[in-house]
Structure 1
Amino acid sequence: MSHFCYFSFIQKEQRKSKIGFLSLLPAPTRRTLENVDITTLEKLSKHSGKDILKLHEIRKTTIPKLREALEAENLIFTKLNT
């Protein structure tokens, strides 16, 4: 018999709704960005794609997803390496 915890499911769904664009990413990638306080697209836009790629758990396939999320809000990665 499969065990389904409705309370746990609701908690996960509420957490996803609070983290916006991060909900589009795999959990390890999301945690990495959260750990360096990149929790909004505005904060993400202050970094270059190259800088983001240097972070643990960030893969090349993640960058297009992040770029798309930025562009949807008329933002871009910074051109400067910080």
Structure 2
Amino acid sequence: MARTEDRAEEEFPGIGAPAQRALAHAGYTRLEQLDGVSESDLLELQGMGPTGTDILSDLLNARGMSLEA
């Protein structure tokens, strides 16, 4: 399990463990998969909160991608 958590931390740096688990459970294992995903859809995931979506938005923006508003 540590290997999966290490990969999640590398892919989603700054995101807390509950939010990382929520993303993995929903099938999101790479940041690029979140490009165009609705912020409201992410907020429905158990363990994901506004801070997590803000961090994800910043990570995506830094790579020229974004969440859908």
Sort the TM-score into its range (normalised by shorter chain): 0.7 to 0.9
1:40 deviation in Å?
1.1
CA distance in 1, matches of 2:34, 2:13: 14
Seen in structure 2, the aligned counterparts of structure 1 residues 73 and 14 have a Cα distance that, compared at 3 Å, is same
TM-score (norm 1): 0.68
Give the RMSD, CA atoms, in angstroms: 2.2
Task: Calculate percent identity across the aligned residue pairs.
Answer: 24
Question: How many aligned positions are there?
Answer: 68
Larger Rg: 1
Tell me, which stretches of 5 or more residues in structure 1 are unaligned? 1-10
Alignment counterpart, residue 26 of structure 1, candidates 16, 20, 41: 16
Higher relative contact order (CA 8 A, sep 6+): 2
